[in-house]
A and B are shown apart, each in its own frame.
Chain A
């Protein structure tokens, strides 16, 4: 089946620093990737939709200058949390779809646990 990886799986950083999270589709080309944030015991909140070669589309309330998304190739999207603060601590999950159109083949990465101290 389609596999999506994320790196790192867990990261601890100091307040004020920036952290980059990678999302890769390992065995398929992903024209669209999504970034979600999940708080403890809560549902997933869509942060942004990333299409290869174009600017990401951010959901309302998500700061695009704080959460930088780059979808440089059909197999890689990155999320950079800039000037991280403790309130940015969360579980970040990406997903990828193999092609355009229907989303019934959306596959999720294993998630990245970010802790900002």
Chain B
């Protein structure tokens, strides 16, 4: 079955870069996503990357995809206290269907 793993916790200082990592097992995924969840709230789509891309940059966010190793990362430049949240990676697997499989989530804590 599909399995998506993330490290549970990351702590960075304000202004530093954050790198959140994700590994997945389903090689048929066509899209991979990063979502942000603040306490008590739903999920906010941050960015996504098509599986035939290696990198996507969107302002402070950079997504790197290593399809060979099934490794996805999200880099947040100049991390701010407002970036503190749980970050989930997700993949749509099964050749591009609508169903998403979410990772375990990484809690990002930004300290002053």
Contacts and interface: CB of A to CB of B under 8 A. Distances in A.
A44 B88 contact: yes
Say what secondary structure dominates the interface of chain B: loop
Contact of B92 (A32, A103, A113): A103
B42 A106 contact: no
A2 to B, nearest CB: 9
Nearest to A6: B42
Size range of the chain B interface in the assembly: 20 to 34
A49 B98 contact: yes
Interface string A84-96: 0000000001010
Interface in A93-117: 93, 95, 97, 102-104, 106-111, 113
A54 interface: no
Interface in B21-45: 30-31, 33, 35, 40-45
Interface residues of A, number: 23
A93 B41 CA distance: 9
A44 B102 contact: yes
Interface of B: 30-31, 33, 35, 40-45, 48, 88, 92, 96-105
